[in-house]
Amino acid sequence: MRQAPLVVSFRPHSHSKADVTTMYLNTILALMPAAAIGVSHYGLHALRVILLSMGSAMVFEIILQRLFRREITVHDGSAAFAGLLFALLLPPSTPFWVILVGAFMSMLVGKHVFGGLGCNPINSVLVGWTVVFLSWPQYVNFDFSLLNYDPGFSTLYPLSVLKKEGAAGIGQFAIKDLLLGNQAGGIGAASALCIVAGGTYLVLRGFASWIVPASFLIGIALCSQLFHSVDPARYAGPLFHILAGNALLGAFFLAPDYASSPGNPPGRFFYGLGAGVFAMLLRVWSSNIDGVIFAIMIMNIAAPLLEMVLSKPRQFEKVQQI
Amino acid sequence: MGIRSFFGIVPFRVRHGQELPYLDMRDAVPESPVKLTAGFLQEKPTELREKLQTFGFGLGAVPSDADTVIVSACDTDPAVTIQQHVFSLYPDTVARGLSLLQHIIQPKKIVLAIFPCQRKRAVSLAADLAEVAVIAPVYPNGFPQMLASMVKRLRSGVGTSMYVNAERLVAMTNAVETGAAPTTKLVSLSGSGFPQRKNVCVRVGQSVQSVLDSQSVDMAVVRKVVCGGLLTGSAIYQPAAIQVTSQTDGIAAQTEKELVRYESVPCFNCGKCTAVCPARLKVNHLARYAEYSRFDTCREYAIDSCIGCGLCSYVCPAHRPLLQLISFASDELKKGEAAV
Ligand code: SF4
Ligand code: SF4
């Protein structure tokens, strides 16, 4: 048999077999428990939002990549992941056209105008969410949108109760309920345990860094503890702030977004810390009920700066080889 | 898949084992070294150095402040086990080599760097000739630069370092004792093209093809032949025309399923390369600047600190040819310097 010519290529001649698709599929897998809790609370309504959002994000990705004459890479799972994450931030009652607009915006403005996967300066999901939030606040407001549901627990949104009544009002939300997912809010943001489990899986498998979630939660804890010790009647403690609203979803899935967060470990630490602190400041002082998303977007913009400072390459000394 | 690589904690461990069980010792043993006592201690250091220089050892310019010599039995590539192998085959020669080094270089300190499985042998052999540094068997800890900085951290006040690996030290000692230049080389065979992984002893100057043939490698299924380690070696096109040199630590014969394909795709900023880089470089940025020929910016990103380990390319999920881009940029920078 005649031998085929040998392949010549640059080193290394071995690879860890990591690839983009595996990473995104695992991230989607890690979000499944949180999504399942949402579906168990709100039934088909939640499922409708999730499927619509994932499907439309994927279709929009194909359309936009055609339009921009790029290679179609919908199979890498990043669009499906973005759609899923977007759905988990929404209430189950969101009308279909709001979902479509949000998914389209996160794909177009969030991702493809900047050049596609990895080139976006701001988390694309959050761009879509912000467009929807600023244009049709009534649909993503958890005070009204959950009134028609009876998931078996209070449909009051813990964070807006906190904002209106101060720390005195939050006695009705037991920590156990917040952990297990018996709280009003986005489809996937309810159960602290499920989100932490998913996030831990990603960190252990090496698909996400532990630094951003850890420093994000440290930021929230420190800042809320500060407020809490100044006036315990007005400000809730760290545990409530971490478990309620989008804080954990932000820590494990929104803030560590690959493209929009710094890549170097010290930069990551300050990025997470800053996002946590900003989230608390927005929760306490702004008219926004949950500041997590805007805080992450602010730190996304600061990410290139953080990437530049605070990391010194190692200098190796010269070694003479005999 | 090992539990460690499953969890991604240590990306790549250098293979090592208690007594290197998968190595075929019979093939590996070269003609038995002549048993001598350390007679060279009577000769003058300068004369010995000149003699070794003619045998091709880099002893021409010994720095006057050479105060540490690192003798390494740590391998420099995950697919290569020859340093460990030599060290376990010829501990006596290594011990005589230590006194030879002490005699001709007169450093303040000799450090014997070994992997944990060799600790017992190293401690008994080093005695008062050298200090033993136990190095974690993780790539690229065996690199001279890495060893130098690790040894430095273990003991303060270590200055200019010199490095010699166990195989070269044994060859050097034999050359001094027998007056013959080294003519053989231990080579690690890897890749699924070989029927079995093992270390073999070959003649320097023998063609790579003849090594492949001697192991009855089926050239019809081999798609790539690599000279050197899997992460550090280079692919060769004509094994019949390439000779085994004193640098050929390994030969790998890869079949279709082992081929790695790098693509010119955009980075999605996952940060794996920055996390894994032993020089703590911002590899993703560096490679991007290299890709768009902004070599001066590469210098700002400390391209000179790269030790060329290739771990960045190894981990990149997008399969970007990171090390290739970086090497390209540093070659261009060197060319620019030479032109000035
Ligand atoms: S080859 Fe890559 S990982 Fe290794 S030192 Fe250079 S930049 Fe860092
Ligand atoms: S590992 Fe690859 S994809 Fe990830 S940041 Fe580095 S270059 Fe980009």
**What domains, with CATH codes, occur in chain B?**
62-178 (3.40.50.11540), 184-258 (3.10.20.600), 272-339 (no CATH)
Q: Residue B227: its pLDDT value, please?
A: 92
Instruction: With respect to residue A201, please indicate whether it lies within any of the assigned structural domains.
Output: no
Residues A23 and A136 in one domain: yes
Cα A223 to middle of ligand 2, angstroms = 33
CB contact under 8 A, A23 and B152: no
Residues A24 and A128 in one domain: yes
pLDDT band at B196 (very low <50, low <70, confident <90, very high): confident
pLDDT band at B20 (very low <50, low <70, confident <90, very high): very low
Q: Which residue has the higher pLDDT, A263 or A282?
A: A282
Q: What is the bridge-based pairing of β-strands B161-165 and B109-114? A: unpaired
Q: Over 70: is that where the pLDDT of B1 sits?
A: no
> What is the CA B85 to chain-centroid distance, rounded?
13
Bridge partners for B280 per DSSP:
none
Q: Of A141, A170, A192, which closes a domain? A: A141
Lowest-confidence region among A6-10, A38-42, A232-236, A247-251 = A232-236
pLDDT tens figures, A69-97: 888 889 989 999 999 999 999 988 889 99
Q: Residue B67: its pLDDT value, please?
A: 78
Write out chain B residues lying below 8 Å of A303, CB-based.
none
Instruction: With respect to residue A1, please indicate whether it lies within any of the assigned structural domains.
Output: no
Instruction: With respect to residue A171, please indicate whether it lies within any of the assigned structural domains.
Output: no
Candidates A11, A111, A119, A264: best to mutate against B (most CBs of B within 10 A) is: A11
Q: Over 80: is that where the pLDDT of B12 sits?
A: no
Q: A166-187 b/e with 16+ CB inside 10 Å = b? A: ebebbeebeeebbbbbbbbbbb
Residue minimizing CA distance to atom 2 of ligand 2: B316
CB contact under 8 A, B162 and A6: no
Residues A122 and A213 in one domain: no
Instruction: Please state, in angstroms and rounded to a whole number, the distance separating the CA atoms of residues B307 and B279.
Output: 7
Partner B contacted by A32 (CB < 8 A):
no
CB contact under 8 A, A14 and B260: yes
Instruction: With respect to residue A181, please indicate whether it lies within any of the assigned structural domains.
Output: no
Q: Over 70: is that where the pLDDT of B6 sits?
A: no
Residues A120 and A225 in one domain: no
Mean pLDDT (whole number) for A36-47: 89
pLDDT tens figures, B297-309: 888 888 989 999 8
Q: How many domains does chain A have?
A: 2
pLDDT tens figures, B26-72: 444 444 444 555 567 777 888 888 888 887 787 767 766 677 889 99
For B183, other C-beta atoms within 10 Å of its C-beta total 12
Most confident of A155-159, B39-43, B85-89, B324-328: B324-328
Instruction: Please state, in angstroms and rounded to a whole number, the distance separating the CA atoms of residues B207 and B205.
Output: 6
Residues A231 and A120 in one domain: no
Instruction: With respect to residue A29, please indicate whether it lies within any of the assigned structural domains.
Output: yes
Residue numbers of the domain that contains A252 = 209-308
Interface of A with B in 187-216 (CB under 8 A): 204-207, 209
Q: Which residue has the higher pLDDT, B176 or A198?
A: A198
Q: What percent of chain A has pLDDT over 70?
A: 98
Q: Residue A265: its pLDDT value, please?
A: 82
Instruction: With respect to residue A151, please indicate whether it lies within any of the assigned structural domains.
Output: no
Q: Of A95, A116, A141, which closes a domain? A: A141
Q: Residue B47: its pLDDT value, please?
A: 81
Residue A164 tokens read as 């209106």
Query: What CA–CA distances, in Å, run from B125 to A109, A312, B108, B120, B295?
Result: 67, 39, 19, 9, 48
Bridge partners for B184 per DSSP:
B203
User: pTM of the predicted model, to two decimals?
Assistant: 0.84
DSSP letter at B296 equals H
Rounded to the nearest integer, the mean pLDDT of chain B is: 80
Residues A222 and A300 in one domain: yes
Residues A214 and A134 in one domain: no
pLDDT band at B157 (very low <50, low <70, confident <90, very high): low
Q: Is A193 exposed, middle or buried (0-12, 13-18, 19+ CB in 10 A)?
A: middle
Sign (positive/negative) of CA torsion B99, B103, B109, B114?
negative
Lowest-confidence region among B26-30, B189-193, B279-283 = B26-30
Sign (positive/negative) of CA torsion B207, B208, B213, B219?
negative
pLDDT tens figures, B70-127: 999 888 888 888 888 888 888 888 988 898 888 888 888 889 998 877 788 888 888 7
Sign (positive/negative) of CA torsion B287, A11, B312, A75?
positive
Residue A196 tokens read as 């932490």
Instruction: With respect to residue A50, please indicate whether it lies within any of the assigned structural domains.
Output: yes
Residues A26 and A135 in one domain: yes
pLDDT tens figures, A286-318: 878 888 999 999 999 998 888 877 677 888 888
Residue B200 Ramachandran class (φ > 0 left, ψ -120 to 50 alpha, else beta): beta
Write out chain A residues lying below 8 Å of B316, CB-based.
18
Instruction: Please state, in angstroms and rounded to a whole number, the distance separating the CA atoms of residues B93 and A307.
Output: 50
Ligand positioned closest to the Cα atom of A11: 1
Instruction: With respect to residue A134, please indicate whether it lies within any of the assigned structural domains.
Output: yes
Cα B312 to middle of ligand 2, angstroms = 8
What number is the ipTM of this complex? Answer: 0.82
Instruction: Please state, in angstroms and rounded to a whole number, the distance separating the CA atoms of residues A247 and B120.
Output: 52
Number of Cα atoms under 13 Å in the Cβ half of residue A9 = 19
Q: Over 50: is that where the pLDDT of A136 sits?
A: yes
Instruction: Please state, in angstroms and rounded to a whole number, the distance separating the CA atoms of residues B167 and B71.
Output: 10
